[in-house]
Structure 1
Amino acid sequence: MTNETRARDVAIVGSGLVGAGWGIAFARAGFTVRVFDSDQSVAKGAIPWAVRQLETLHAHGLLAESPQVVAQRFILAQDLREAISGADYVQESILERVDIKRKLFEQLDAVLEDATIVGSSSSGIPASAFANDLRISPRVLISHPVNPPYLIPIVELVPSTQTSREAVEFAEALMLSIGQSVVHVHKEIEGFVLNRLQAALLREAWALQRDGVASCEDIDKTVRDGLGWRWSFMGPFETIDLNAPGGVADYANRLDPLYHSIAQSRTADGPWDADLIARIEQDRRQHLAADELAARRDWRDQRLMELAADRKARKR
């Protein structure tokens, strides 16, 4: 990090799965992490949960220090002012609602120190919708992760119409210092980049099941055992660049009519209605019972740790 971005203390405001996951990412990198949630029961549960994840990370060779040493960097704050006092950076991860975020940012505006940068974990709401026209507006931007942020190392940085260049540079240096892969989103757009890409795939997946083309499991197989193999180490543009003899232009000339026709076939799709949601729920529960969801999430995280360990080994 540059001399201007020597953050050592960070605050986590909103300590659910995303916020607590951010806490792990920062604590693992050596930062003191103050944790706060308006629901104290959530805040109190966040640190013990994080310690369990640290132990699992250590078992997979993904933690340079002992879990006990890293865990000591977590501090449970009793209120918002205590959490942000002396913090160089605040990561907000509260409920995805404009009114609730606006209320928090008005509170931060009243008490935040002059140099502190604030990143929001917002999944799709631009910062201009809840953080503009405040004293702190030049120091606020979107820092959107993928859950869990300590295992999937990507963050989208999205400035608002009032965010300063210095705040973006600070956030970039900070995120790089904790091992994140930074994506710069140059224009505010609902859903940013990651969720717009995910939304396109999800809309088609739901439509394919609705139309009786394939089951949820077979659609999942198509991504898991097909598209996902390449997408686990290269993106869509590199994928198609390698999938035609003449590269990306050759691919586009060959397949643009097909993709255009597919896109045109979905222009009238509406929201997912209650009947469709019930159908998808029933389809999924045939493969995973509701009471097995938590265990399957743990399985997912174990697989992500194995993948992270493999990637780490290949970089040596």
Structure 2
Amino acid sequence: MNSSDSIDTVGIVGAGLVGSGWSIVFALAGFQVRIFDRDPGVRDDVLRSAASAMREMASVGLAADIDAALGRLTICNSLEEAVRDSDYIQESVFEHIDVKTQIAQQIGDALKPGAIVGSSSSGIPASAFTAQAPHRERFLVVHPINPPHIVPVVELVPAPWTAKDAVSTARHLVERAGKIPVVLTREIEGFLLNRLQGALLNEAFALLEDGYATAADIDATVSYGLGLRWSFMGPFETIDLNAPGGLSDYARRLEPLYHSIARSRREPRGWPPELIERANRERREALSEQDLPARREWRDSMLMDLVSHLARRRTPPQS
């Protein structure tokens, strides 16, 4: 199996928002990148969108040598062409188990010896779509956070049959590409990020449904409160610093409150259609649907500024 140091060429299968983001990540890190998407329109747009994104990144110091990076991008006309000469493949096709199963089979058939495959799956575990794939021991989930070319963290989730060497190589490759890998010891639905995000969303919807606050005030509580600390500290470090005696002192003081809150939410509620419509109505009053693309551009600009600032100021997490 390839070591991360021997990987020079990366294949991208699926070049939508996630796949094109990955192509930017690897090209800027010095890898040759071979890109395939079954939609000719998507293939035709990859280089333009990559150039635009790289220029924005360069404006805040997150990218350099853009022309050289763009020169490392090659558009392929078939999946086999993108995969057969690649040392590592990043699959980013539609999030549907049947689609991913079919693509895993095709990638496995075209793999060169030693090549490893990471899937950008955001919640479907690799065991659900690689069980029958050729060379299944070389497949694992390598899940980025949107937008992949800006947000540093990447989740690595092995299937039960994924070789340890494949996980190790993928981790080191992600680090070479300038990302921060987090490795799960085994599969769980939703992985880390979506389980944590889901817990917060479930409580946010419950508070909205019960009329305790508006969607805007719930958003403000996170963006101007919790989110400020969470942008550079995780939940355990946050509470470790929030009591004189550290984490154990915090737990002694506040565990009864959090236990009581958890007991009050024992039964999962779901998100009924009328609640989703209520939240959506509040959001559309604050931001019209036609303004969503511009707001996404604003989000990406804010994220780039934040990542650039944190890169200058913070100490990276210790592995």
TM-score tier by shorter-chain length is over 0.9
TM-score by length of 1: 0.96
What's the CA shift for 1:309?
Answer: 2.1
SS at match of 2:211: coil
Identity level (%): 48
- Counterpart of 2:201 in structure 1 is 202
Whether the 8 Å contact between 2:3 and 2:169 is mirrored in structure 1 is: no
Amino acid at match of 2:135: I
Q: For residues 205 and 134 of structure 1, what CA distance do their matches in structure 2 show?
A: 40
- Counterpart of 1:235 in structure 2 is 234
SS at match of 2:271: coil
Q: For residues 4 and 25 of structure 2, what CA distance do their matches in structure 1 show?
A: 21
Identify the range of structure 1 (302-311 vs 168-177) with the bigger mean alpha-carbon deviation.
302-311
Tell me whether 1:27 sits opposite 2:35 in the alignment. Answer: no
Query: RMSD of the alignment, in Å?
Result: 1.5
Q: For residues 183 and 167 of structure 1, what CA distance do their matches in structure 2 show?
A: 15
Amino acid at match of 2:55: E
- Counterpart of 1:52 in structure 2 is 52
SS at match of 1:272: coil
What's the CA shift for 1:305?
Answer: 1.3
- Counterpart of 1:80 in structure 2 is 79
What's the CA shift for 1:308?
Answer: 2.1
Structure 1: state its 5+ residue gaps: none
Q: For residues 175 and 137 of structure 1, what CA distance do their matches in structure 2 show?
A: 20
- Counterpart of 1:152 in structure 2 is 151
What's the CA shift for 1:4?
Answer: 5.5
Tell me whether 1:41 sits opposite 2:41 in the alignment. Answer: yes
Q: For residues 311 and 225 of structure 1, what CA distance do their matches in structure 2 show?
A: 17
Amino acid at match of 1:146: I
Whether the 8 Å contact between 2:138 and 2:166 is mirrored in structure 1 is: yes
- Counterpart of 2:256 in structure 1 is 257
Whether the 8 Å contact between 2:4 and 2:173 is mirrored in structure 1 is: no
SS at match of 2:161: coil
- Counterpart of 1:70 in structure 2 is 69
Q: For residues 59 and 242 of structure 1, what CA distance do their matches in structure 2 show?
A: 34
What's the CA shift for 1:76?
Answer: 1.0
Within a 5 Å distance, the mapping from 1:304-315 to structure 2 comes to 304-314=303-313
Q: CA-to-partner distance for each residue in 1:223-252, whole Å, 9 max, x for gaps?
A: 010001111111100101111122111111
Structure 2: state its 5+ residue gaps: none
SS at match of 1:25: helix
Q: For residues 206 and 10 of structure 1, what CA distance do their matches in structure 2 show?
A: 40
What's the CA shift for 1:112?
Answer: 1.6
- Counterpart of 1:266 in structure 2 is 265
What's the CA shift for 1:312?
Answer: 3.1
Q: CA-to-partner distance for each residue in 1:110-147, whole Å, 9 max, x for gaps?
A: 22222110001111111011112433111000101111
Within a 5 Å distance, the mapping from 1:1-316 to structure 2 comes to 5-65=5-65, 67-314=66-313
Q: For residues 49 and 125 of structure 1, what CA distance do their matches in structure 2 show?
A: 27
Q: For residues 288 and 93 of structure 1, what CA distance do their matches in structure 2 show?
A: 30
What's the CA shift for 1:46?
Answer: 2.3
Q: CA-to-partner distance for each residue in 1:30-88, whole Å, 9 max, x for gaps?
A: 111111112221222222111100111112222121x2221111111111011112101
Whether the 8 Å contact between 2:120 and 2:143 is mirrored in structure 1 is: yes
What's the CA shift for 1:3?
Answer: 5.8
Q: 1:315 to 1:249 in 2, by over 3 A?
A: closer
Whether the 8 Å contact between 2:125 and 2:159 is mirrored in structure 1 is: yes
Amino acid at match of 2:9: D
Amino acid at match of 2:231: S
Q: 1:275 to 1:49 in 2, by over 3 A?
A: same
Identify the range of structure 1 (184-193 vs 128-137) with the bigger mean alpha-carbon deviation.
128-137
Q: For residues 3 and 258 of structure 2, what CA distance do their matches in structure 1 show?
A: 48
Amino acid at match of 1:202: L
Q: 1:220 to 1:242 in 2, by over 3 A?
A: same
Q: For residues 248 and 60 of structure 1, what CA distance do their matches in structure 2 show?
A: 36
Identify the range of structure 1 (32-41 vs 233-242) with the bigger mean alpha-carbon deviation.
32-41
SS at match of 1:119: strand
Q: For residues 31 and 302 of structure 1, what CA distance do their matches in structure 2 show?
A: 25
Q: CA-to-partner distance for each residue in 1:251-302, whole Å, 9 max, x for gaps?
A: 1121112111111222223321221111111011111110011001111111
SS at match of 1:131: coil
SS at match of 1:218: helix
Q: For residues 238 and 114 of structure 2, what CA distance do their matches in structure 1 show?
A: 42
Q: For residues 230 and 221 of structure 1, what CA distance do their matches in structure 2 show?
A: 14
Q: For residues 108 and 279 of structure 2, what CA distance do their matches in structure 1 show?
A: 43
